[in-house]
Structure 1
């Protein structure tokens, strides 16, 4: 007589419990390992101590993590003791971590020493601390901060600027606004380095840097990348309605005001040069889709092309090839017509006169 459905063999209770136990141990191993790795990086980037002490602390952490990971898999009494000790240690680290607060009061590098201030009165905007350095090398430059005024009724263009410094997937993102009198103003969200400090992408995950919004002349902020740092820079003319251009510019004014009122940490993943551009754009158009290219910023222009944000009538390969301004920037040098010369041949830009 065939077995009834109710007589189908089931795994013994003991076997089921064992599988659940193994799954829980695997989950606990993952949690402990993740917490340990995060703590190691936090100690490396934020522990203020001689290198020997820093290394010793990380070695101690690694040993504690290994003991805690092994403990649940062992058949002995008090197996949870190492796990509890590790949990207490990690709680202490989180308490220490919470003491780190962003600040405006540090000894800043010259190029990020001043905070941008923007006053908006109708269509008139006045900017204080616009950067216009004359760069001869990374360490040889003339410091120049300016006050400027613009009329948003004369704002006519915006260009997406991507500066590549570490392979095709990573680029620094800038937005440059053009006015009908031929002037350009570029906004860039950057880390606010202290004197002698260098950028670290990993450090950007661990409260190593504050955020600063820089408004700058293109002969400063673009030319320093192409002509001094040897970065590869691309311009893409954005397809944006005049009303949207104004909203985007005012959005940057709002960001400047927020940073003035409350300093903020830079985060490599969630609060960087690309995410802030997307946040401003999405505030204008909430339908903009999320996309991996918002994290892999080197592909941001391709994303903008796919959502219809670049000059129409050209394929992306053409926009990219004709948007590469590195050679033109090197040839232009410090020419007063730098902005006009580097845009020669870019789709959507009027030809040189």
Structure 2
């Protein structure tokens, strides 16, 4: 029994030291060369202490605990900040305020993307009439990694205006996203409001990703509550920065938390963590447009080809929705048949 306990303790210590190596690699603000040196020293020290522990030296355990205590002291003193050289597309965070029936959003991104790193930069202030809010769509973009996708929410105002909210990593200029880095406080969190052409065309037309759109079954009062929950969350984030986390603070878990905050009794499910499976979760809880199987919703909700064909068309948002369940009220000219298109509960 003693040997079993010792083996278990040494295994936990080894895993803790490996976690420490990853934390140092992803979070130290130094060059690759210096990070390699520090992580190499850390792993050598961890291996030496582990071997000493296997030989029964109690001081080895004290040495490991000392190293981990120093690491945790540094780790828990890390603080997110708004003051860094951000990439152009996340240099501003969305904020908003409500005056009666009017919502004003500041820093709405409306870029014209040429490549994934080059765009005509436009940040705008836009007004929306809340009593015209009549649709909510979930937009899911994937790029070939099993189970991994980015999820956005688009709010529609009588088919004439659409604004997309996207929970993203706040990258530095020239920095690429790493799912592993998202576990180790490498990025701050961003809530970005964008024009629909910006958010969708970036992913479908520029990055070549697979993009799907699902109309959400939701009452108008709940739509309004969800939109204002996004605004409140964005304002709070602009006031107090937070770290992005691949599991606990990402594009899915924050939406889930906001939906729960407005009274939706949504169950916990593993698919909340496997973002590519979120449509299946929404279908399971009855959140997608009724009268269709999940396979049909996924097949008819695929919009990346329509987005590439529409590209600069002024009625872009209607063109990409022409075959999507819940949007069958589109006229033959690509404009809405409002009576049919607005038959939402």
* Bin for the TM-score computed over the shorter chain: over 0.9
SS of the counterpart of 2:115? coil
Q: Distance in 2 between matches of 1:346 and 1:168?
A: 24
Q: Distance in 1 between matches of 2:144 and 2:79?
A: 29
SS of the counterpart of 1:136? strand
Q: Is the 8 A contact 2:53 2:60 kept in 1?
A: no
Q: Distance in 1 between matches of 2:325 and 2:304?
A: 16
SS of the counterpart of 1:348? coil
Q: 2:18 aligns to what? A: 37
- Please tell me whether residue 68 in structure 1 is matched to residue 49 in structure 2: yes
TM-score by length of 2: 0.93
Q: 1:253 aligns to what? A: 231
Q: 1:12 aligns to what? A: none
Q: 1:127 aligns to what? A: 105
Question: What pairs with 1:193-208 in structure 2 (closer than 5 Å)?
Answer: 193-208=171-186
SS of the counterpart of 1:288? coil
Larger Rg over CA atoms: 1
Q: 1:157 aligns to what? A: 135
SS of the counterpart of 1:176? strand
Question: What pairs with 1:154-303 in structure 2 (closer than 5 Å)?
Answer: 154-303=132-281
- Please tell me whether residue 100 in structure 1 is matched to residue 78 in structure 2: yes
| Structure 1 unpaired stretches of 5+ | 1-18
Q: 2:291 aligns to what? A: 313
| 1:273-307 CA-partner distances (Å, limit 9, x unpaired) | 11011111122345211111000000100100010
TM-score by length of 1: 0.91
Q: Distance in 2 between matches of 1:52 and 1:127?
A: 43
Greater mean alpha carbon deviation, residues 97-106 or residues 254-263:
97-106
Q: Distance in 2 between matches of 1:318 and 1:53?
A: 52
Q: Is the 8 A contact 1:186 1:216 kept in 2?
A: yes
Q: Is the 8 A contact 1:25 1:72 kept in 2?
A: no
Q: CA deviation at 1:181?
A: 4.8
Count of equivalent residues: 331
| 1:4-27 CA-partner distances (Å, limit 9, x unpaired) | xxxxxxxxxxxxxxx1x1232122
Q: 2:5 aligns to what? A: 24
Greater mean alpha carbon deviation, residues 144-153 or residues 119-128:
119-128
Q: Distance in 2 between matches of 1:50 and 1:102?
A: 20
Shift in alpha-carbon separation, 1:269–1:212, aligned structure 2, 3 A:
same
Q: Distance in 1 between matches of 2:144 and 2:191?
A: 22
Q: CA deviation at 1:132?
A: 0.4
Q: Distance in 1 between matches of 2:234 and 2:33?
A: 40
Q: Is the 8 A contact 2:229 2:262 kept in 1?
A: no
Q: Is the 8 A contact 1:157 1:245 kept in 2?
A: yes
Q: Is the 8 A contact 1:163 1:172 kept in 2?
A: yes
Q: Distance in 2 between matches of 1:167 and 1:202?
A: 14
Q: Distance in 1 between matches of 2:173 and 2:108?
A: 20
RMSD (CA atoms): 1.4
Q: Distance in 2 between matches of 1:299 and 1:74?
A: 47
Q: Is the 8 A contact 2:212 2:301 kept in 1?
A: yes
